[in-house]
Structure 1
Amino acid sequence: MSHPFTCKSKFETLHHEAEQLRNKRLKLQQSADKAKRKGEEIYESVDKWLIEAGKAIEEADEFIQGEEQAKKRCFVGLCPDLKTRYLLSKKAEKKALAIDKLVNEGDHDPISFRPRILQIVASSVYHREALNSRVLFLKQVMDALRDPNLNKIGVHGMGGVGKTTLAKEVHRQAIEEKLFDEVVMVAVNQTPELRRIQSEVADVLGLTFDVEGIPGRANRLYERLKKEKKVLIILDDIWKQLDLKAVGIPIGDDCKGCKILLTSRDKHVLSQMGTQVVFHLDVLQDEEAWSLFEMTLADAKDSELPPIATEVAKKCAGLPLLLLTVETDLRNRESYAWNDKLKQLSVFDNEEIYAKVHSVLESSYNDLPGNEVKSFFLLCGLLGLSNIPIRSLLKYVMGLSLFKHISTVKEARNKVYTLIDTLKAKCLLIDGDKYGFVKIHDVVRDTALLIASREQHAFIGTRSGSELMKWPNKDSARISLPYCDIEDLPEGWECPKAELLLLFTEVLSLGIPDLFFKGIRNLEVVDFTGMRFVSLPTSLAFLSNLHTLCLHRCQLDDIAIIGDLKQLRVLSFANSYIVELPRQIEELTRLKLLDVSDCSKLKMIPASALSKLSQLEALYMSNSFDQWEADGIRNQGNASLAELEYLSHLMTLEIQILDAKILPKRLFSNGLLSYRILIGDGWDWNGNYETSRMLKLKLKTSIHSEYGVKVLLRETEDLYLDEVRGAENLLYDIDGDGFPQLKHLHVQNNTVIQRIINSTKCAACDDKVRCMSWSTRCRIF
């Protein structure tokens, strides 16, 4: 009967245990909230523990409060008897033990996981009954995938014959028919990027890598795929043998549930990779080729067109890429245009299909309206990439002065996008794999390279990954070396006419001789990608006409010599390992575009250096430098935000400001036309990249009422808000104009919002909001 006398001790123990559980639950909830903001999902066991812990804390608090009330009643002579005290003591002890158990069970690691990407199933492109050969071919491939004795299947065919289209249709049907638990499609391309391939497979599987090295990631992916019962991996556009184990894809007995579909131009590559059966995708027969033109002629009034169109279709050699290209060129055209196209195709009538491919595509090139779009198309081909960053194109055209009467970044960007639209309409470019990229079909790219070598004295290194057999001669004007196998670069190389040099490599040890640039002094654009520089070559200072310098994915130490490049308009260190920008950058007073995006190690920009870049129009700093000083412009220390106020020409800005308190009151002006600005900590750079103005704002302070921020709010299209305080009518209280340009709104961590839109104060707001997403902690009344 010791409990009545130890009742106070039992309640103190219960109170102590409850506080321990409260603290542990709070920390875990904060970690869970942070994971959710990153787009991760919380494990069910974690959510269950949080609910149980919350309930236990609530019950303990009520029980303890009851005891406190009982103590108060004792002062007026209403104390419980010994038996009641005994029962209360026992109950307190039982609750303390239960809470102690919860505390011990509250250690969760990890607490979250990256969700599997919801795959978008495209509509079928094999719906035309007329394309009977394609429907039968697809059935053969699908039957092979259903065969339990086959796990590695190949499809080969010439460029432009429709291998990627077939792969996409297999991907669609496999998902729709639920033949596999997981279906993954990855474009391998000429230069296999193992890290990208691993990431794309992992994204579909919901796998997060906890290691950075490619071998370690391969092991994690390998073990994960072995656990899948039925998985299909489609590897499209393979140019050379790919080591599947190096990627992390199990084969054969290692994973009987894993099937692989490979597509390639080269049948030998598929044989080297051990395919058990290989299907050859041939060109279309004349009847099927003609069917692709029938829709074009459906509304034609000219009776002469059908027989001419039949001949044009035959001249396209049954290659779908060419058929669609010519069909697009001739859509809604008169008979004389069809006759002219037929004449062009007839001139190159021979047995070599690739000659027809290039001749047809060259005829499309010749039809391009003007020299600017033609030069731009050839530049796209020179990059040697199937997926082309539009921002890189912008940097190159600014350096080459490719466009007449264009002097600003804004004008150049508008022209680039206009020309891209033109080339897409001609089927010479297509949409890229993600926003901000365009793609060029490999056959189209080969044609562009042939034309560029002939018309622009361009030199293009042999196919990616192949050994460079010869070096550009002295008459070469544009030089592109995309991932060529280069052992050494020449020291005394003479190429006085060269104006563009692109060198992409994965070999960090490839060195640049100190006098490399001595004989190529007229360069206007230089892009070195994937290299390491302890210091830049001193001969770089000879490039008095250099307008664009790109050092992408490089490891950079001493780069002070860039201060000698007085004519630079574009300077880019995107995705590079660089810790500090040199003081000499302030000498680049003609600079219009500076890109240090994804330089996550950049911690130092010398004070006052940015303010000297008076002509700067575009500053990209996403996922990069964020160590802004609080004070105004100084001569020592790090850069301050106040320096940006001196950039009167600035129109494009990507920046993160961790502490809103250091934000100058009038930093942002009406001059910003496009921006991606993060204010406050905890934000990432995810968002809707299809909009040109994004703002992420943590409203712990009244920063939204400052003039500069109000300007941003008024023009923002993509708005993210966190910890909104004192705003019950969200759109009106934060911005009295009600966000007239708003297209997307995301709100998180808010409990006081009563209205999103008050129609009596902001009648037009509801028409502007296209999409609203809410975190689990947001309440809407």
Structure 2
Amino acid sequence: MAEIILTIVVEVVKCLAPPAYRQISYLRESKYTSILDNLKTEVDNLKSEKVSIEHRVAEAKTKGEAIEENVENWLEGANDVIVKADKFTDDEAIENKRCFKGLIPNLKTRRRLSKEAERQKEAVVKVLDARRFDRISYRTAPEDIRLIPNKDYEPFESRMSTLRSILSALEDRDVNMLGIYGMGGIGKTMLAEEVARKVKSDKLFDQVVFVEVSQNQDIRKIQGVIADKLGLKLHEESDEGRAGSLYEGIKKVKKILIVLDNIWENLNLGSVRIPLGDGCKVLLTARSLNVLSEKMDCRTNFSIGVLNKEEAWNLFKKMAGDYIEGSEFQSVARDVAKGCAGLPVSIVTVARALRNKNIQEWKDALEKLGRPSSSNFKHVQPDAYKAIKLSYDKLVGEELKNIFLLIGYTAIASIDELLMCGMGLSLFQGVNKMEAARNRVHTLKKELFSMHDVVRDVAISIASTERNVFTATNEQVDGCREWSDGSAIKHCTSIVIHDIKPNLLPKVLECPQLELLFISDDPCETSPVTIPDNLFKSMIEVRVVNLTYIRSLPPSLGLLSNLRTLSLCRCSLPDISVVGDLKKLEILCLRGSYIKKLPVEVGELTWLKLLDLRDCFALKVIPPNILSKLSHLEELYIASELFDFADWEVEVEGVKNASLEELKHLPNLTSLELHVYDVGTLPRGLLLEKLERYSIHIIRIGDDEDEDEDEGWEYWESTGIWCREFRLELNDKIRLKDSLIVQLQRIEDLELRRLQEQDVDYFRNELVKVGSSHLKRLRMRGSRLALSPAESEV
């Protein structure tokens, strides 16, 4: 009855006093209910939008990107508004605000609540209207692991005065370049890293960049490292374009310190385009004062000497274990430490090699350290050579020793490279399968990949004297007697030549015992190396050939009947049909090479276990009935970061490309990397449950008017180290039911874009079927779904 009377009063006021109508209308229950419902609807909309933004923020953070301040402020503001609105609807609006035991409505309270509900609705709408952002995040330079505090760094007193002097020099306005020099393994890099960490923590510079130069200078690589650490992208192909972009990027930093570690010869800072001065300073390290003062014209230099007796002993104890002090080991251990001559690299390698060994092995080590060094390797001190040779002798088993030497003299830097070379040379004992070999390589990674350059030098020396290995740079080859007359080369088992220049290769390499050949052209050389037609004619035993930046393949390559691994990375090859003659080939890597067509002759390599076509951006033709013939294939990679082979089953240049149906004929396949644009090209029954590792991207293409540019295919990101990774972008033509997700087992990393509401239940059910217990990372992007955090990011 009260509500009826109130309704009549409101209608009368509406007619007689319109200005008062809005205020008195707040007293009606229907008005109050309508306002409250509108508030709840807008809060639900805001919650959905907030979850969507949070998904994008979480994804950006997994990429290491920083979040825009206005986005973080919006999320904070949205959360405050939501909390207040929920409290209002839960604690106040739902309560029965009546008086006289509920018989008569409390009009004063209703009016207040109606106005408050409308005010909160307006606040929610205002936050919703402000949700449009130009971008969610931005790239930041990745943190340099060298600049993270190092628990292994020892602040030796003999180094501290030098450290203080270097820091003082860096604050001197008149000093733009300074250097640290000392023998190999003395600790120059460790001191330089500590300088970099110190100036960063004390904020003496806005940016600190650490770059290892090494003996084989690579200007493009140096530029790339600096760019990466500054968060720059060098898209230019020409050297001039890259240099210009880097120069401008460095100039934008007000104060920057660039550390160039391990300089062997003159490095033209102008070629790199490092703008010395005007806020940019450079710290160099080198073994020779002559390199710093004469070749680099560096006038402020600091020498590092060996550790004193007590410092050497303390470092030795830390590496070997404190148990050696106060035991039967102490006397002999002190003598062993003394035999390392205060050289940190010797102390560390010997102490680690003898850790937990018995007293007899300690005494044997002491005796070996006392012998005269048999090495005259000019870059390594005799004491360092003996110490590192001792640690090499302590490696258990020939497999580990062989891998140690291989990493040393080839300068291999990745798991994939070691895997391909090791398999080609049959270094992994009792291993025939690629997946088993990959697991073996990972167990060796930590122990052998962190090679100090002095350790690498000793590995080269050992390989040279004990394994007949020849390794050199272009300058060392030119004028080398062994190379020119072939007297020593003839007996080599491995040859590694970096940055070779034109006309230095002989017409024929007479190497009947050769098992491994590495040749890399100088990528900056305008005149490419031409490999003589008969170079491979007398290499009947060679098992691994690695050619980098080469422009053509000679016909004699087809004579290598025992070849197991052929790596042709970053080459420009108009014709590679000669590989079809390599009937025993097991590994073919064409990564980053310029090839337009995979020749039909590849189908004759029926023993092939690994085929790598990653980053072959010019590849347009894969003829049919090639892949299906590779019945022993275990690993197949056809993808890249920026360009993908996409024209499956499409006619290109008069040839109809292969179908992915051919993958059904590869029963041994365990690893697959594949990007496709049309889900229709993916056949059913691919036996993907057998895959141990995969990275499959199904990418939408088209010109949809509502397409978000920020969600284009170029922003797809892999975790880098992938095991079982699946990326899928849905649209009107691609539904979740049509995808390969129903065939994928044990997914670890899953990303879905544009997932629709009708797909959610199906997705949950299928995720259970394929084994969601293995899922480590789940991302939803561009989906208008209010999923819980557990459903959006794992």
User: Alignment partner of 2:490: what SS?
Assistant: coil
2:578 maps to: 561
CA distance in 2, matches of 1:238, 1:695: 43
Q: Which has the greater radius of gyration?
A: 2
Q: Within the alignment, does 1:207 sit opposite 2:232 as a pair? A: yes
Q: Cα distance, 1:152 vs. partner?
A: 0.2
Q: Which stretch of the first structure deviates more once superposed, 647-656 or 698-707?
A: 698-707
CA distance in 1, matches of 2:153, 2:178: 24
Counterparts in 2 of 1:494 and 1:206: CA distance versus 1, 3 Å: closer
Q: Which among 122, 146, 168 is matched to residue 148 of structure 2? A: 122
Q: Which among 350, 355, 360 is matched to residue 382 of structure 2? A: 355
Counterparts in 2 of 1:159 and 1:210: CA distance versus 1, 3 Å: same
Aligned residues of 1:152 and 1:277 also touching (Cα < 8 A): yes
Aligned amino acid, residue 153 of structure 1: L
1:735 maps to: 767
Q: Which among 720, 735, 749 is matched to residue 689 of structure 1? A: 720
1:542 maps to: 559
1:620 maps to: 637
Q: Cα distance, 1:486 vs. partner?
A: 5.5
Q: Within the alignment, does 1:754 sit opposite 2:780 as a pair? A: no
User: Alignment partner of 1:459: what SS?
Assistant: strand
Q: Which stretch of the first structure deviates more once superposed, 568-577 or 346-355?
A: 346-355
Q: Cα distance, 1:728 vs. partner?
A: 4.6
CA distance in 2, matches of 1:45, 1:210: 29
1:475-498 Cα distance to aligned partner (Å, 9 max, x none): 111111122456332113321111
Q: Within the alignment, does 1:286 sit opposite 2:313 as a pair? A: no
Q: Cα distance, 1:201 vs. partner?
A: 1.9
Q: Cα distance, 1:230 vs. partner?
A: 1.2
Q: Within the alignment, does 1:259 sit opposite 2:281 as a pair? A: yes
2:416 maps to: 391
2:663 maps to: 644
Q: Cα distance, 1:691 vs. partner?
A: 4.1
Q: Cα distance, 1:249 vs. partner?
A: 0.5
Higher helix share: 2
Aligned residues of 2:502 and 2:528 also touching (Cα < 8 A): no
Q: Cα distance, 1:220 vs. partner?
A: 2.4
Q: Which among 514, 521, 528 is matched to residue 505 of structure 1? A: 521
1:709 maps to: 741
What do you get for the CA RMSD once the two structures are aligned? 3.3
Q: Which stretch of the first structure deviates more once superposed, 459-468 or 288-297?
A: 459-468
Aligned residues of 1:666 and 1:708 also touching (Cα < 8 A): no
User: Alignment partner of 2:773: what SS?
Assistant: coil
User: Alignment partner of 2:597: what SS?
Assistant: coil
Q: Cα distance, 1:560 vs. partner?
A: 1.0
Aligned amino acid, residue 606 of structure 1: P
Structure with larger RCO (C-alpha < 8 A, sep 6+): 2
User: Alignment partner of 1:532: what SS?
Assistant: coil
1:393-428 Cα distance to aligned partner (Å, 9 max, x none): 11112211223432211222222223334xx1xxxx
Q: Within the alignment, does 1:367 sit opposite 2:383 as a pair? A: no
Aligned amino acid, residue 346 of structure 1: G
Aligned amino acid, residue 155 of structure 1: I
Aligned residues of 1:600 and 1:625 also touching (Cα < 8 A): yes
Structure 2: 5+ residue runs without aligned partners? 1-52, 74-131, 701-712
Counterparts in 2 of 1:280 and 1:686: CA distance versus 1, 3 Å: farther
User: Alignment partner of 1:199: what SS?
Assistant: helix
Q: Which among 699, 718, 740 is matched to residue 749 of structure 2? A: 718
Q: Cα distance, 1:325 vs. partner?
A: 1.0
Counterparts in 2 of 1:468 and 1:553: CA distance versus 1, 3 Å: farther
Counterparts in 2 of 1:482 and 1:462: CA distance versus 1, 3 Å: closer
2:594 maps to: 577
1:615-649 Cα distance to aligned partner (Å, 9 max, x none): 100112230542242599xx951121111111110
1:273-330 Cα distance to aligned partner (Å, 9 max, x none): 1212011122211211001123344234862222221111111111111111111112
1:167 maps to: 192
Q: Within the alignment, does 1:671 sit opposite 2:671 as a pair? A: no
Aligned residues of 1:728 and 1:753 also touching (Cα < 8 A): no
Q: Which among 512, 524, 532 is matched to residue 496 of structure 1? A: 512
Q: Which stretch of the first structure deviates more once superposed, 455-464 or 637-646?
A: 455-464
User: Alignment partner of 2:546: what SS?
Assistant: strand
TM norm structure 1: 0.76
User: Alignment partner of 1:461: what SS?
Assistant: strand
Total equivalences in the alignment: 646
CA distance in 1, matches of 2:416, 2:779: 27
CA distance in 1, matches of 2:375, 2:336: 16
Counterparts in 2 of 1:733 and 1:617: CA distance versus 1, 3 Å: same
CA distance in 1, matches of 2:734, 2:366: 68
1:67 maps to: none
Aligned amino acid, residue 313 of structure 1: A
Q: Which among 522, 532, 544 is matched to residue 525 of structure 1? A: 544
Aligned residues of 2:565 and 2:585 also touching (Cα < 8 A): yes
- Give the 5 Å matches for 1:227-242: 227-242=252-267
User: Alignment partner of 1:310: what SS?
Assistant: helix
CA distance in 2, matches of 1:297, 1:723: 56
Structure 1: 5+ residue runs without aligned partners? 1-28, 49-105, 430-437, 759-768, 773-781
User: Alignment partner of 1:274: what SS?
Assistant: coil
Aligned residues of 1:604 and 1:627 also touching (Cα < 8 A): no
Q: Cα distance, 1:258 vs. partner?
A: 0.9
Q: Cα distance, 1:702 vs. partner?
A: 6.4
Aligned amino acid, residue 422 of structure 2: V
Q: Which stretch of the first structure deviates more once superposed, 590-599 or 457-466?
A: 457-466
Counterparts in 2 of 1:246 and 1:128: CA distance versus 1, 3 Å: closer
Aligned residues of 2:375 and 2:385 also touching (Cα < 8 A): no
Q: Cα distance, 1:545 vs. partner?
A: 1.0
1:629 maps to: 648
CA distance in 1, matches of 2:389, 2:622: 48
Q: Within the alignment, does 1:599 sit opposite 2:623 as a pair? A: no
1:186 maps to: 211
Q: Which stretch of the first structure deviates more once superposed, 686-695 or 667-676?
A: 686-695
User: Alignment partner of 2:547: what SS?
Assistant: strand
CA distance in 2, matches of 1:351, 1:608: 55
Aligned amino acid, residue 499 of structure 1: E
Counterparts in 2 of 1:125 and 1:156: CA distance versus 1, 3 Å: farther
Aligned amino acid, residue 146 of structure 1: E
Q: Cα distance, 1:553 vs. partner?
A: 1.0
CA distance in 1, matches of 2:170, 2:496: 40
1:568-604 Cα distance to aligned partner (Å, 9 max, x none): 1111111111111111111111111111111111111
Q: Which stretch of the first structure deviates more once superposed, 287-296 or 684-693?
A: 684-693
Q: Within the alignment, does 1:269 sit opposite 2:291 as a pair? A: yes
Q: Cα distance, 1:688 vs. partner?
A: 2.3
1:231-284 Cα distance to aligned partner (Å, 9 max, x none): 111111112211111111012xxx321111011122222122121201112221
Counterparts in 2 of 1:411 and 1:47: CA distance versus 1, 3 Å: closer
CA distance in 2, matches of 1:474, 1:621: 39
Q: Within the alignment, does 1:590 sit opposite 2:612 as a pair? A: no
CA distance in 2, matches of 1:397, 1:654: 22
